[in-house]
Amino acid sequence: MKKFYPITFLILLIACQSQTQKPENSDIKKATEDYWHQQPLRILQTVLRQPDAANYNVDSLIRYMNDVHANVLVINGGGIVDYFQNTLPMANINPYIGDRDLLAEIVEGCHANNIKVITRVDFRGVHKERYNLHPDWFARDENGNPIILNYTTPGLYAPCYNGYYRNEHSVEFISQLFEKYDINGIWHNSVNFHYTCYCDQCQLKYYEEYQKEIPVKSSPEHEWEEYYKWNKIMANNQLALMRETVKKYGDDKSYAAEVFNMYSIEQQKHTGISLYSAAEYFDFLVTVSFIANNSANVVYKDIYYPSALVRFLKSLEPEKPPVILFGGNGTEHRYIYDPPLDSRLWLWEAAATGGGFWNCYFNGSSPANTLDQRNAYLASDAYKYIHENESLIQELQPVTDVGIFYSKASGELLGDENFSFPLKGTLRLLEEEHYQYGFIYSTQIGIRKIGFNNLEIIS
């Protein structure tokens, strides 16, 4: 018997429009200009290693940001290692800071130059000496042993969505940052978990919901599907709590985390945090968009990748600015630089579709102070373009020739490879033939709702 799969996605052909315009009588509310995070964003992030904090030059940083037209700084706050004078019992202050209040200096200097400051927090785990203080705050595997992460930062004892560390402690931590410093927002790094937790809190909550224990590796598939639905609720509860904590200090304060790429559907299912979660809880939408993959054998992505991401994020939540996170210093391989011509094409592809920028530098200081400065000013003109045209970019609602129906449910059924391969092929075809396109989600389906007329549906 021939096996049939559900349609991965549909292409909806619509009547061509000769110009970009804002839809009239749209259900989409006009984005206000009350808050800075609703405007096209021009972000710089300097990811500090611990020794970088000792001689961090705030004046040099600000000169560089002004030179390249960046207006938002993302800087280390803490979590694993704290880059401020943390007074909580679980504090782990960077020893290279000493008595210096580095974050206070950065915030004061940036605000004096009309630069917003977002602090990066990371609650993915703690080292053993801090874990030993409160082992009941953290995640356990199905045998009751602590879950220890050994990627990126080895030896971290991991928390879960329901434990004290990721809830009460995280609320206290973020609250302290806002109360001690006039920061503008929180960047929640490593927001999702890729493992199943069997701690007492998770077991109790799951039993209250289903009157049975959390499934184990040998459990049947239908029990795991039930668990994924529950885990999604727990994950969204966590995002809601973090957002509520941030917004206590003002609606102008931003809360955001990384939006996962549009091809990784299974990751969204297993972690409980999806693109739909991002659209609901984050104030702007960020997707990692590095030119090359992070592996020994470098594979470069198609040049249309950043523009596809921007179109995707614009369709996901039109009111929230889309941002591509790239690395001028070859972030995937840390201390080498990306090919400059490819990088410039990368940036202008995103700018042409209305995207903002997030330049992520891993080598400590501002790009003008690093050992390899070849790409330090690579993005200056692209940032300047966003700066000079931000009001126009903010108001754009593109009218497209083609709409791609994006089905999360189909992706979960087919798996990442079977879902992403035809999607990538379609995107390449549309780009090479110069069709203007956008995305439509299952939550948006309904001719009236999406505002398209005279549709011809092909699959």
Question: What are the counts of helices (DSSP H) followed by strands (DSSP E) for the chain?
Answer: 15, 14
The alpha carbon torsion through 391, 437, 317, 455 (nearest 10 deg) reads 120
Q: Which residues contact 390 (CB under 8 A, 6 or more apart)?
A: 39, 40
124-132: average pLDDT: 96
Torsion angles phi and psi, residue 438, rounded to 5: -145, -175
Task: Specify the DSSP element, H or E, that contains 307.
Answer: helix 305-316
pLDDT tens by residue, 140-163: 999 999 999 987 778 999 999 999
Has residue 12 got a pLDDT over 90?
A: no
pLDDT tens by residue, 165-215: 999 999 999 999 999 999 999 999 999 999 999 999 999 999 999 999 999
CA angle 320, 75, 285 (to 5 degrees): 15
Q: What is the pLDDT of residue 321?
A: 92
Q: Residue 88 and residue 97: Cα distance in Å, rounded?
A: 17
pLDDT tens by residue, 31-68: 445 799 999 999 999 988 899 888 899 999 999 999 99
The letter for the amino acid at 187 is W
255-260: average pLDDT: 87
The alpha carbon torsion through 255, 188, 40, 264 (nearest 10 deg) reads -120
The tokens describing 153, both together, are 């930062």
366-378: average pLDDT: 85
CB 286 within 8 A of CB 355: no
Q: Residue 35 and residue 250: Cα distance in Å, rounded?
A: 10
Q: What is the pLDDT of residue 330?
A: 66
Q: Where residue 333 falls among pLDDT bands split at 50, 70, 90? A: low
Has residue 81 got a pLDDT over 50?
A: yes
Q: In the chain, what are the domains?
A: 1-28+397-459 (no CATH), 32-396 (3.20.20.80)
Q: What is the pLDDT of residue 1?
A: 43
Q: What is the pLDDT of residue 456?
A: 46
